[in-house]
Chain A
Amino acid sequence: MAGPTLLKESGPREVFCGLTSIVWLHRRMPDAFFLVVGSRTCAHLIQSAAGVMIFAEPRFGTAILNERDLAGLADAQEELDRVARELLQRRPEIKTLFLVGSCPSEVIKLDLARAAERLNEELQGQVRVVNYSGSGIETTFTQGEDGALAALVPMLPSSDERQLLLVGTLADAVEDRLIHLFGRLGIHCVRSLPPRQSTDLPALGPGTTVLLTQPYLTETARLLKDRGAKILKAPFPLGAEGSRAWMAAAADDFQVPSHTVADVLAPLMERAYKALAPHREVLAGKRIFLLPESQLELPLARFLQRECGMELVEVGTPYLNREQMSEELALLPVGTAVMEGQHVEQQLDRVRSSQPDLVVCGMGLANPLEAEGITTKWSIELVFSPIHGIDQAGDLAELFSRPLRRRQLIQPALHPAGSVHPIHN
């Protein structure tokens, strides 16, 4: 079969677990609190991944299990009730409490669904309690968001209203812009999951057409489909081309005349290509290696190859849902190495032997590769930055061109002898 070459490997992985997605989910829904039921490691992970401790009281925390809970001296369910009550007393503004399962809570089979049910009964609708798992033995990085959204699907009210539902966290400004553009296409009823207020859940039913904004929402998509929504197949809205196809898929479903689509989107596309041009100059012909982490790797690779002229050395992804990714896979050049899973050491061997111009990787690997003279871009920035939509294509390209430009700028002065490798260990 023509198309990319799909490969698999397993071994030691270097990826975040699903708890990490709390870092952007809590910002999307400021009236929600994410309570991880886990260990000190979980607390330390979120704190370290968030990188900052700027909030007086963050909207996430950890109920840390201790020896008494594990030895059965304390009833973990009762303990959890106590911690949840203590938290809600201190934070009366919380409207939704997510109980988030972790590796330890999964291993000891602590039933968070039961806890959520009991707390819901006790709180009588003042606070809605929802549970999902962000554990690293089951989820990778962005899959945590899939779990959180999937947990919300059963709570969505039913409605037959004809509407477009955008599923997946977007930056507020990007969301506003997309809703505005859909409006210009004549699609006026556009709602989002997750919503900006956790209590403002969108309704759902046979009149609902879903556009996934993120490629990692497999389980959420399945549940939405079960509730009668139609999930559109389209490339993901990264880059001008992908975003256009993504919007056009919705337009098609809402029977927007194709000339309207062209009228609205053509000037945007023209502007996007203008914005892309300077970055394309830096990126064209450069070789890129994407390590697996966010599941955004495939659409990013497609964008970087087709719109920025980059050559794809290897495209890693922690998990490949072929059906959901079919549109993306079809746009990748024949023979592109798409690697599902990871053996981090062997993958780094391939990075070193192929000497790419740019590597997309996690924060643990970026500086060590830079120190070997290999330019990197950290993948976590891609889930925090507003990169979706035609208007953001230039900014998205800049995230990749900036590290290359920076190296060109400072290398001559910092390495007058011409050596590529930093002297630092």
Chain B
Amino acid sequence: MELTLWTYEGPPHVGAMRIAASMEGVHYVLHAPQGDTYADLLFTMIERRGKRPPVTYTTFQARDLGGDTAELVKRHVREAVDRFQPEALLVGESCTAELIQDQPGALAQGMDLPIPVVSLELPAYSKKENWGASETFYQVLRGLLRSQAPEKASHDPTAWQNQGRRPRVNLLGPSLLGFRCRDDVLEVQKLLTMHGIDVGVVAPLGAGVGDIRRLPQADLNVCLYPEVAESGCSWLERTFGMPFTRTVPIGVGATHDFLVELHGLLGMTPPSAEEGYRRSRLPWYSESVDSTYLTGKRVFIFGDGTHALAAARICNEELGFTVVGLGTYSREMARPMRAAARELGLEALISDDYLAVEAAMADASPELVLGTQMERHSAKRLGLPCAVISTPMHVQDVPARTSPQMGWEGANVIFDSWVHPLMMGLEEHLIGMFRHDFEFVDGHQSHLGQAGGTGMGSEQAKSCESTPSETDLIWTADGEAELNKIPFFVRGKVRRNAEAYARQVGCREISSETLYDAKAHYKA
């Protein structure tokens, strides 16, 4: 038994719903009690879908448990097939149904239905949402393609060269309730088109049963989101001999590496290393003088495996930040995450306890947090700027505008959304220069009226003083005086830093000297 307050991932059958709802012509019969129907709102409210997810819940009740719940499953399967006329049926169960062991998948398979039935077994008491999505996608591929599998896998990804056509690849992994998947697909399609590569099938997002069946007609698979598609891609590789790309094209460097990997597999000449510089604004914006102030900004990264790994590379190599914390809630991605963290001289945080993540964040004293909606709330409490880089989804993570993470435009979006929460360089420079001017002095009336200046400063100071552990520290009069020379909007942070430093070096009094020592310590 494990105490959980907020969770990063839903149960595995929600992952299965993501696959079913992403596809066309697929229906999912879920043996589950009525309360489980809440999951529909994830799609209709959070993602603002204008369609109900294609799911029939058996909604069994306590009084059904004494009777024939198996018959109940069959009735719902029959009704769902009659009403929705799907081309393929997924059948599975949620946590409660798992306990009563009706084996709905086997029941449906025994009903002699005129369509393929994919039975899903998703252990609800040990696995989570992304695993459920991955397993479902894999089972859908297996269920629909097994009959086409050759005796011996033989596949030449360069065959297009002799067939008088352009190379063709499938994009696998994008799904509903995935972070910016809709926009990433558009961006990657654009990227591939620029290189003369056609997209065969995108799956599961928007794919029908017929699309799944023609997956093997492509030259290779692009695995966009390993959390969802890696096991499916591996199966296609084992069974049909189709290779797949491992690089996720998020960031300028990774997009280039992705193109090199893809061109290599297809037998094409790799693109110029300058392409990223020409196509994306991130490299120049990062080089421009204003960005000097981004150097060494301390950033804390937490999210799903794919996005957190990508963020670490971008921060470190492309924006010149210092990564001071890195972690993921995706246990499936723990290995690559640990390796990436080690390279940055860190120990990866693999946890699905958001309080542990918040504690690690506070410990790392970052200047920017890249995380999920939960880290956004934690960062808000700690007074830190934050940008969201990963699921779990929030209605804000489905913007009306196109806002990809992948490809050249994705790099632009990332530059804007990660840098804007920070104070702009020029702004920070000017504030440093003019901080003794009267506009920044306490008591000065801002043109915003009562809402201006002093209120914020004193509020911040108050929130600091209220932490009980600070009673052991004493601010001397000259320490306070020095602190008051600092503009109100950074004063809280300076106060926190000075106190943290004093505690670290074991000093009880904070004087102006301590302040300067702390400043030197944190800038070092």
Contacts and interface: CB of A to CB of B under 8 A. Distances in A.
Q: Do A and B bind each other?
A: yes
Interface of A: 11-20, 37-41, 43-45, 47-49, 51, 53-54, 56-58, 60-67, 69-70, 74, 76, 79-80, 82-83, 86-87, 103-104, 106-108, 135-138, 140, 345, 362-368, 370-371, 422, 424-425
A70 B49 contact: no
Contacts of A38: 95
Given A15-B34, A45-B38, A57-B5, A40 B128 contact: yes
Given A368-B52, A425-B50, A138 B62 contact: yes
B100 A365 contact: no
18 contacts: A14-B37, A15-B37, A16-B34, A37-B1, A39-B125, A40-B4, A41-B11, A44-B14, A66-B1, A70-B125, A103-B95, A104-B95, A104-B96, A136-B96, A362-B37, A364-B40, A365-B52, A424-B50
Given A70-B99, A79-B1, A345-B83, A371 B40 contact: no
A12 B58 contact: yes
Interface of B: 1-7, 9-11, 13-14, 33-42, 44-46, 48-52, 56-62, 65, 76, 79, 83, 94-96, 99-100, 123-126, 128, 355, 373-374, 377, 381
B36 A136 contact: yes
Nearest to B56: A12
A103 B4 contact: no
Given A13-B57, A63-B2, 8 more contacts: A16-B35, A49-B41, A56-B381, A62-B3, A65-B125, A74-B1, A365-B44, A422-B50
Q: Most A CB atoms within 10 A — which of B10, B37, B76?
A: B37
Given A136-B36, A367-B45, A44 B11 contact: yes
Nearest to A380: B41
Contact of B34 (A17, A41, A67, A425): A17
Contacts, number: 196
A291 B99 CA distance: 30
B150 to A, nearest CB: 37
A140 B34 CA distance: 8
Contacts of A18: 35
Contact of B374 (A17, A53, A64): A53
B40 A14 contact: yes
A61 B3 contact: yes
B63 to A, nearest CB: 9
Contacts of A80: 1
A177 B37 CA distance: 37
Contacts of B65: 107, 137
A15 B38 CA distance: 7
Nearest to A60: B5
Contacts of A13: 34, 37, 57, 59
A17 B5 CA distance: 19
A58 B6 contact: yes
A120 B35 CA distance: 30
A227 to B, nearest CB: 27
Nearest to A19: B35
Contacts of A107: 65, 96, 99-100
A138 B56 CA distance: 20
A115 to B, nearest CB: 11
Given A19-B35, A136-B35, A136-B36, A44 B10 contact: yes
Contacts of B50: 367-368, 370-371, 422, 424-425
A371 B62 contact: no
B10 A40 contact: yes
A22 to B, nearest CB: 12
Contacts of A76: 1
A67 B126 contact: yes
Interface-centre pick from A38, A63, A104, A362 (highest chain B CB count, 10 A): A104
A44 to B, nearest CB: 4
Contact of B6 (A53, A87, A136): A53
Given A53-B374, A138-B61, A103 B40 contact: no
Contact of A41 (B36, B51, B79): B36
